[in-house]
Amino acid sequence: METNLNKTYDPKEFESRLYDEWMEKGYFASKPNKDKKPFTIMMPPPNITGQLHMGHALDHTLQDVLIRWKRMQGCETLWLPGTDHASIATEVKVVERIKKEEGKTKYELGRDEFMKRAWAWKEEFGGKIENQLKKLGDSCDWDRQRFTMDQGCNDAVKEFFIKLYEEGHIYRGHRIINWCPNCKTTLSDAEVEHEDQPGNFYHVKYFLKDSDQFLEVATTRPETMLGDSGIAVNPNDERYADIVGKTAILPLVGRELPIVADEYVDMEFGTGVVKMTPAHDPNDFEVGLRHNLEEINVMNEDGTMNDKCGKYAGMDRYECRKSIIDDLKEEGFLIKIKEHDHAVGTCYRCHTTIEPRLSEQWFVKMDKLAEPAIKILNDKELQFVPDKFDKTYLQWLENIRDWCISRQLWWGHQIPAYYCQECGEVVVAREMPEKCPKCGCTHFKQDEDVLDTWFSSALWPFSTLGWPNNTEELNYYYPTNVLVTGYDIIFFWVVRMAFAAMFCMNEKPFSHVLIHGLVRDSQGRKMSKSLGNGIDPLEIIDQFGADALRFTLITGNSPGNDMRFYMERVEFARNFANKLWNASRFVFMNWDEEMMNGVTRSDVEANLTLADKWIISRANNIVKDVTHNMDKFELGMALQKAYDFTWSEYCDWYIEMVKPRLYGDDVEAKKAALYTLTYVLETILKLLHPFIPFITEEIFDHLPTANGMIIVSEWPEFKEEDNMAKEEAMMDVMMDGIRNVRNVRSEMNVPPSKKAKVIMVPSEDKLEAVEAGKDYFKTLASASEVEVRADEVGIPEDAVSVVIDGVKIFIPLDELVDFEKELERLNKEKAKLEGEIKRVNGKLSNQGFLAKAPQKLVDEEKAKKEKFEEMMKSVEERLASIQAKLS
């Protein structure tokens, strides 16, 4: 073991080296161990098109903190990594490359050749984010890495589809779907993002057949008029009772439209008359089914108008809208145009406005599948942290619609459905059938569509462990313990994993879902390319180190809430790491290997001072607090407590207190000091390791009392014998006194180099504390000597006074004191005490408080009053003394 750390803290010197060492020694690896309790996290698989962004950095830091903590607690931890094939995003990238490099479309290449290019693209770019995650410190089992299209996951997807189909949960139907004209594929409801956009209501005349009477119909999408096949009014609307069953004429087209009565129509909204376009609106589709209205699809896949649109055929949908409005004006059908902002559905990938469109697709019936997923939340088998997200989860499941799972793409899991080319029979099977069960034909063609990416992701907690096979890993690690993810993915993924797990495994996928928010910029804006406000985590790591980035992300985080990212906080984190580094160097520089060889607690017990016992007890209680916060997933709070203890109590107070003993001649005193310094430092390093793993490992490697690597060391536990409440209370008195003396000297501009005698007059119950801790005033309060007296007799009248609970402190500073300033300070102290006394008197004179408050609380207020009045008496005496001196 090297004798000391490098003089300068430089994370570049050791972060990569330590990560490689962890990997080489297999510390991230996991295997079923019946002697250990498992703790499992499945990494939300980033897209193979992805690059590490700040959201990833937060998500992965939270997971790594939990895994490292549970590893130290002795669990058999499995953090299983993987990547997602991301059908739409990846196919777009591959198509763009083929077009740019070869000038071809995917159709010109053909499916087989396109798939070769896609797999080659995956091999080229798919591992990029893995290497970036390693720089962050991810301690996952890379040997178990999975990909949503690897053979095992592919088999699981087929099994899931077939199982759903055979049990009647999957069907192929002609229904309204969300269509992206840019990506040219269907989208599930969860993949549609709604944006408020400015638009218009176009009020149009629809004349009744053979009549001058017209209906006023308002629409936001005039281009869909070309697909109208009916008019609907509410059956309870007396205004239109006489026209139900009659016929209207579609403007510009002349098509006859039956007028039907349906309760879907809101009588209070608009004119109470709604045009029905069953092929281009999901609500109209349902009304159309009830009234047998014709379904007329008027758009092509790319958002242009099709050959059913007459003169408008071939126009882009928005070009068609403008042309139709012009024609309606010209022919006298347009009544008015009214501005109207409304929520417009857009593609979550390319943000193109989606087009509801009638199409033949595969769907999952969700009503029955949702019930077990709802039950596990209501029964508390699955819990959200924070629990406010229960509502989000339930709202989606309780109002769920059938899930469209087919996508018009080639990259992905091809649907295991085969069509007989003779009779059209559909066969769902693991492999292509040899012959048709209906007509005996042997000519089959597989469905060309692939499954929604989330269909495979829904299986992630158990397909990665070997399902549908009954593996040792599945039996040991499942169900998993925690899912860490953002609130924006509850609809996409959490819900689907829940119902898929209950369907396939009949057991919850995980016990807890730890929800985090978004990482926003310092102004609170979402980071985006368009705003140019994104911050590259890799640049932060390169400049400040991974520990500083992780520290920043955790201390600024609370479950479920967004956080703002400030560079100043990264610098603060780096400064803390530097403080810890230098404090550790100080300890190691003073270490005496020969003197400390084999020294144990029992060897130094008799020589432990008040400061030693205090810091040991405080460390013990911080262990308890941090562990409690970790158990509740309050990771930010846990780190804050560990940080506060390290910086303030250990570095700023304790290290300063022990310096005289380290530099003195008393060997036994030095032994006790060194034992305590290293014992508490080891505890600090262990508490901090899950959060800032690299620096803690590097320091631990130099810690003379430590063995092995910190990553596999034991998490500290609270010890009742180290819970020294009396010593903590005694030290609190001394620290309060030291702080007050420092404040007085600062207010009076007395430099630290000016030493002055300190006289302490404690009450009887504080005498032990004062006697045990008086020497700390020499080190920390610039005292030349410390005298403890039973009373104030003989104390110079010009002594500056400090009054704390149970102790009066006097500092004779005749030659240093500005008495005018001291008078001003004492008057401020008097005003402060007057305020406290007024407040407590107000409470004690409040009959309502006295009647309702517990007696303990009343007694506490009375004790405060006595304390403040005693302090006031002392301040007034001092004021009188100085005023007499100045008069």
C-alpha distances in angstroms, 856 versus 837, 850, 852? 19, 11, 12
The b/e string for 434-443 (b: 16+ C-beta within 10 A; e otherwise) is eebeeeeeee
Helix H, strand E, coil C: the string for 382-403 is CEEECHHHHHHHHHHHHCCCCE
CA 366/CA 458 separation, integer angstroms: 14
CA 155/CA 52 separation, integer angstroms: 29
- Enter the tokens of residue 399: 């109002």
Cα 630 to chain centroid distance, Å, stands at 15
- Enter the tokens of residue 71: 């590893």
- Enter the tokens of residue 745: 């000297």
Q: Is 134 annotated as a binding residue?
A: no
Nearest one of 156, 8, 11, 5 to 550, comparing CA atoms: 11
Phi-psi group of 560: left, alpha or beta (phi > 0 → left; psi -120 to 50 → alpha; rest → beta)? left
- Please answer whether residues 807 and 732 qualify as being in contact, where contact means their C-beta atoms are separated by less than 8 angstroms: no
- Residue whose tokens read 């077990």: 372
Nearest one of 29, 127, 14 to 79, comparing CA atoms: 29
- Please answer whether residues 64 and 138 qualify as being in contact, where contact means their C-beta atoms are separated by less than 8 angstroms: yes
Q: Is the dihedral of CA 468, 413, 486, 57 positive or negative?
A: positive
Q: What are phi and psi of 386, to 5 degrees?
A: -80, 160
In 121-272, where do the E strands start and end? 146-147, 170-180, 185-187, 192-207, 214-219, 230-233, 247-249, 256-261
CA 96/CA 446 separation, integer angstroms: 26
Long-range contacts of 620-627 (CB under 8 A, 24+ apart): 620/718, 620/719, 620/722, 620/723, 621/718, 621/723, 621/728, 622/683, 622/687, 623/683, 623/687, 623/716, 623/717, 623/718, 624/718, 626/687, 627/715, 627/717, 627/718
CA dihedral 448, 454, 460, 461 (to 10 degrees): -140
CA 450/CA 444 separation, integer angstroms: 17
- Residue whose tokens read 């104030």: 792
Binding-site residues for ATP sit at: 529
Binding-site residues sit at: 529
